[in-house]
Structure formats: structure tokens, C-alpha cells
Amino acid sequence: MGVPLSQMWTVASYVVGQKLRGNKRYPLVLMLEPLFRCNLACAGCGKIQYPAHILKRELSVDQCLGAVDECGAPMVSIPGGEPLLHPDIGEIVEKLIQRKKYIYLCTNAILLKKKLEEGLFKPSKYLTFSVHMDGLEEHHDFAVCREGTYEKAYKGIKLAVDMGFRVTTNTTLFDGADPNAVRSFFDEMMDLGVEGMMVSPGYAYPKAPDQKSFLRERTRTTDLFKMILSNRKKRWIFNQSPLFLEFLMGKREYECTPWGNPTFNIFGWQKPCYLVQDGYVDSFAELMEQTDWDSWGRASGNPACQQCMVHCGYEPSAVDHTFSSVGGLWGTVKAMLSSGYSSPQAAKELDEAKAKPHGPLAQLGVTIEGKPLEKGAAEPIEAA
């Protein structure tokens, strides 16, 4: 099962409505961060490094609903921290469903099975669990820095699927990722019965403990995604704009749309985007009016944006393209009808990648003997 038609229709009619009203800047997905604390401490995380008194704080139900109403986006993504740690997450979700918002509840799924067994949520076309899965078991447990996490998440997903919930996976890829293993992971997730998968390169958060593993060069990002997403299997379903996936494969150029996924958390509305904190304002209107949007995105020359290809900045660009030109619409239809992306060159590179070092040791930049990797073989990238 893919994205329900009702969701496609809601998003399409919302975007067309914004276009007809002449709104150049409009939000597509509200990133609602109800808390920053988490039950994991992933090395690539840029959200959990706050002092304890901040990690203890959370948004109230009223603050969450106020932000959703103020913003007006048809979709609400609830990342964190770990939203299942919020004491009122059941009520927040229930009230958003009443508002007919399409919710992506982003979770590491450690608590998912327990919360489902407690009956905290009911299946709804408006609610999707977007489960953080960074690859097959060994890779995922390494990426999240705790053994046994994959197994817990796997069981949580299985139960959610069996109970009739919508479930997607949400995978962040870092330097040294094994493209063949990622493809096997896609098979495993589709076997598990998820509705679709989402992929994105990680953002080089300056606060994240592991700086070596970020994909800091665009060509390295596109080379990796070309290997992974070319010669695509028919059974793989992605819960993402096909044009965004083409962007990751280096087939399209987009400029970032930072206002597409505005972020609200305990500090207020975050300028300018989900990834970068350049101050906060009290209202969504202030965010839209007071942010110097021209200072952000690749074309601005801002160093924080040069290598970024993350979904929260570029997926809204791809969706806007679909609805703003015949070329964008045709490109989307074409991608949906013939999504194989046959490429003998990518198949060759994928095959060659089997002989290269990947996985945890490659991410650490060492061989199994503890020696530095040879140049060009998933070499470690120095921290900026």
C-alpha cells in the first residue's frame, strides 16, 4: 500500500491553492519538536546536546495545537528527541487527527511496541509512524550506538503493521554507507510490510559527536544515491517526492526551500530551517516576515548550506516543482510510471563497491587491523 489517495489529494489541492493565491512562500510540513530528550544518543544527532534543564522541558498540548493552527501546513512531522517519551503524545496525536492533519510521528521505536500494547494510539489514515532505521541490524545498531535497537524497532514495526497502522522507515545515510547493504535493507523493510521508505543524507551538525561520518561533498552524496537508487526494484516503495530522489541521484538541481518545513519547539519558531538555529521568533508570521531568506540556501553562498541535500530543505522544492510547471508535473508522472532508472554504469559501480570497505570500521576510518584506510576507499573525511 502506498500513500493514500486522500493524502495525495489534500497535499496537491493545498499546493495548487497556494499557487493560485500567488503565495511564493508557503509551509508544506510543520516540524513540531515537542521535546529534545531521547532514549538514545546517536553519534550523528544534532538535537540532544542541550543541558539537562532544557532536555527536561517539553511543549504542552496547547502549544503544539497552537503552532499547528498558526502554521496551517497540511502535514505535521513530529520528530524530537523521542516523541514517545512525551507524556501527552497520545493526546497531541488524537487532536491533530481531529484537525485532519497528516501526521508523521518520527520514532526510534524502542517504545513503540509497549505504547501500542497499552492502546495509546488507534490506526488512522492520518497517522504514520516514521521509524528511524539506518540500515541492516549491524549498521543500524552502530549508527544509533546501542546494540539491540534494530531488533526492538523491528518488533515495534511488525506489531504496528499487524495492527493496521501506517508505517514508514526513515533512513539517514552517512559516509561509508554500503550501497549493497542499503539495497538489502530496502528488501527487508518491504518484506516487513511498511507502506514506504524515506531516505536522506545526514546534515553535518556542528554539535554532533561524530563529525567524520557526514557526507560533506555533494558528488559523494550523489554517487552514493546513484548506486542505491538506480536499477531500482519494482517492489521498493518510497514515501517521498520522486523528483527529490532524482535530485539525490544528481539528475536534477534544486535550490533549498527552507520555509517549506518550518520548525517549532520549546524555544519558539526556529530560523531559518530544521537543521540550523539562527535565532527564534514568537510567531509563524514573524518567522516568514523576519527571516532573511536570501541569506540561506546554496545560492546564497552561506557555508552552512553548501553541501546540504537534506530532505527538509529540498523535498519542498521538488514538490513545488511538480505543481509549478508542466515539466515538473510530467517529470513526476514519468518517474512514477517508469521508476526503474536502469543504469549499467551504476550497476558496475555497485558491483565494484562490494570489494571496498564499508560499515562501522569504514565509518571510523580504519581497517580491521586498525590501520587508516587507503585514499579513495571510503576514506574518512576530516571534521570541518
What are the residues binding ligand SF4 (CB under 6 A)? 38, 40-42, 45, 47-48, 80-82, 108, 132, 144, 256, 258, 272-273, 275-276, 296-297, 304-305, 308, 310, 312-313
Query: Is residue 259 within 8 Å of residue 288, measured between CB atoms?
Result: yes
**E-state strands within the chain:** 29-32, 75-78, 102-107, 127-132, 166-173, 196-201, 263-265, 268-272, 277-281
- Minimum gap (Å) between residue 139 Cβ and ligand SF4: 14
**Chain residue whose CB lies nearest ligand SF4:** 313
The distance of closest approach from Cβ of residue 275 to ligand SF4 in the complex, given in angstroms and rounded to an integer, is 4
Residue with smaller CB distance to ligand SF4, 84 or 362: 84
Minimum distance, C-beta of residue 300 to ligand SF4, in the bound complex (Å): 8
Question: By the 8 A CB rule, do 46 and 207 touch?
Answer: yes
**CB-wise, 123 or 206, nearer to ligand SF4?**
206
Closer residue to ligand SF4, CB minimum distance, 110 or 182: 110
Classify strands 263-265 and 268-272 as parallel, antiparallel or unpaired.
antiparallel
Minimum CB–partner distance for residue 125 and ligand SF4 (Å): 25
3-state secondary structure 178-240: CHHHHHHHHHHHHHHCCCEEEEEECCCCCCCCCCCCCCCCHHHHHHHHHHHHCCCCCCCCECC
| C-beta of 262 vs 297, nearer to ligand SF4 | 297
SS3 track for 18-59: HHHCCCCCCCCEEEECCECCCCCCCCCCCCCCCCHHHHCCEC
CA atoms of 163 and 170, how far apart (whole Å): 20
> CB-wise, 171 or 230, nearer to ligand SF4?
171
Q: Which of residues 227 and 321 has its CB atom nearest to ligand SF4 in the complex?
A: 321
Q: Would you say 246 and 307 are in contact if contact means Cβ atoms under 8 Å apart?
A: no
The 3-state DSSP class for residue 141 equals helix
Nearest-CA neighbor of 274 among 133, 87, 104?
Answer: 104
Q: How near is the Cβ of 142 to ligand SF4 at its closest, in Å? A: 12
In the bound state with ligand SF4, the residue whose beta carbon lies nearer, of 83 and 176, is 83
Least separation in angstroms between CB 13 and ligand SF4? 26
* Minimum distance from residue 92 beta carbon to ligand SF4 (Å): 17
List 198's β-bridge partners, or say none.
170
